[in-house]
Structure 1
Amino acid sequence: MIAEIPSIDETKYMYYAYGTGILLLSTFILFLINR
């Protein structure tokens, strides 16, 4: 059970970084389209 906690935190961090990357990428694409 103890070994499961870091895995959950790692997954949360991965999803957070992944979501932030997609948000920045989509914002950049919209910026290029609307320019």
Structure 2
Amino acid sequence: MKNDTEISREFLAYDDFKSEDRVIRVGTKVPTNK
């Protein structure tokens, strides 16, 4: 059984992955010339 620190660390890593994936999707759908 995992302890709270392991669970929170995996959750944060998953949340960061989803946030990065969302940024990539938005950047792909809405290209900018910057």
Q: TM-score, normalised by structure 1?
A: 0.80
Identity %: 10
Q: Which has more helix, going by share of residues?
A: 1
Q: Which runs of 5+ in 2 are unaligned?
A: none
Q: Which runs of 4+ in 1 moved over 2 A?
A: none
Report the counterpart of residue 26 of structure 2 in structure 1: 30
- Number of matched pairs: 31
Give RMSD over aligned pairs: 1.6
